[in-house]
Amino acid sequence: MKPLKDGLILLIGAKSYGALRYRGSPTSGRAWGGPMNGQGGRVRLVAELLLKTEPVAIVETGTYRGTTTEWLAAFQLPVYTCEASGLNFGFSRARLGVVPNVHMLHMDSRSALRHLLTGPLSAQLDKPILFYLDAHGSQDLPLAEEIDIIFPTASRAIVLIDDFQVPDDPGYAYDDYGPGKLLTPDYIAEGVARHSLQCFYPRTPAERETGTRRGCIVLAKHADIIATLEGVANLRQLDAPAKG
Ligand SMILES: C[S@@+](CC[C@H](N)C(=O)[O-])C[C@H]1O[C@@H](n2cnc3c(N)ncnc32)[C@H](O)[C@@H]1O
């Protein structure tokens, strides 16, 4: 860290420093070329998921600078988003604090999910809820725990994991945090088996995707949700070929 930044954070705290950063440079919120990593195919996929599954709420883990949060909020559903870093939380709160349907939590994703499922979302656990899991970026990978928190409780959950391997399309990038922490089907295999999940992948091939071309996976367990996902044109299961 730079000495000036360090000193300011010590003096005013990380959240206030994040808010100052937003006010000084609001456009630095345009991380990765726009919402959903600047990926046009992903934007279409999530928009179609929202239209067809009709969730009552959206939960994002990993707010970062609020770029995807802001886009999700335009669908006029309650959006809950959590962020562990004080700086990123402060930045996003300065950016989105006035948006009435955005609810921001400065929390670890696992604590935030437990809090939401036992609190604000507890009366809607039998309704579809879209979870956008994007709280990765360090050795402490919360993903497997996030799956174990969501599925026993939110029966009609639709879970989209960003930065995930698309096994038959090497053009999609995915995250690697070292041995045993590669965002591949192996990493979530136990959770998929334990909760009897069905897995879907983007139908758009990486060569036709834009932006940073990060892969993703969509998980669901409820038969009604699975039937709906089978009708989502922008999704496919692995035995179905990608097509543009
Ligand atoms: C890839 S960025 C999220 C990008 C954001 N969703 C977007 O589309 O613009 C990951 C964010 O997750 C946060 N993060 C990492 N681990 C976390 C955890 N366990 N709980 C909450 N946030 C976490 C990081 O601080 C970082 O801001």
User: Mean pLDDT across the stretch 149-154?
Assistant: 98
pLDDT at 162 over 80: yes
User: Does ligand 1 come within 6 angstroms of the Cβ of 82?
Assistant: yes
pLDDT for residue 87: 96
Nearest-atom number in ligand 1 for the CA of 62 is 12
Q: How large a percentage of the chain has pLDDT more than 70? A: 96
Domains and CATH numbers, the chain: 2-236 (3.40.50.150)
Between 244 and 50, where is the model more confident?
50
58-104: per-residue pLDDT in tens? 999 999 999 999 999 999 999 999 999 999 999 999 999 999 999 99
User: Does ligand 1 come within 6 angstroms of the Cβ of 111?
Assistant: no
pLDDT for residue 180: 87
Indicate the pLDDT class of residue 243, thresholds 50, 70 and 90. low
pLDDT for residue 137: 84
pLDDT for residue 100: 97
pLDDT for residue 31: 64
pLDDT for residue 29: 64
The side-by-side arrangement of strands in the sheet containing 102-105 is 102-105, 79-82, 57-61, 129-133, 157-162, 216-220, 198-202, 235-236
Helix axes 223-230, 40-53, angle to 10 degrees: 130
pLDDT for residue 40: 96
User: Mean pLDDT across the stretch 218-241?
Assistant: 94
User: Does ligand 1 come within 6 angstroms of the Cβ of 209?
Assistant: no
User: Does ligand 1 come within 6 angstroms of the Cβ of 70?
Assistant: no
CA of 63 to the centre of ligand 1 (A): 5
pLDDT at 36 over 90: yes
62-74: per-residue pLDDT in tens? 999 999 999 999 9
User: Does ligand 1 come within 6 angstroms of the Cβ of 45?
Assistant: no
Give the tokens for residue 106: 């400065």
Query: 176's torsion region: left (phi>0), alpha (psi -120 to 50) or beta?
Result: beta
Q: What is the mean pLDDT of the chain?
A: 94
User: Does ligand 1 come within 6 angstroms of the Cβ of 134?
Assistant: yes
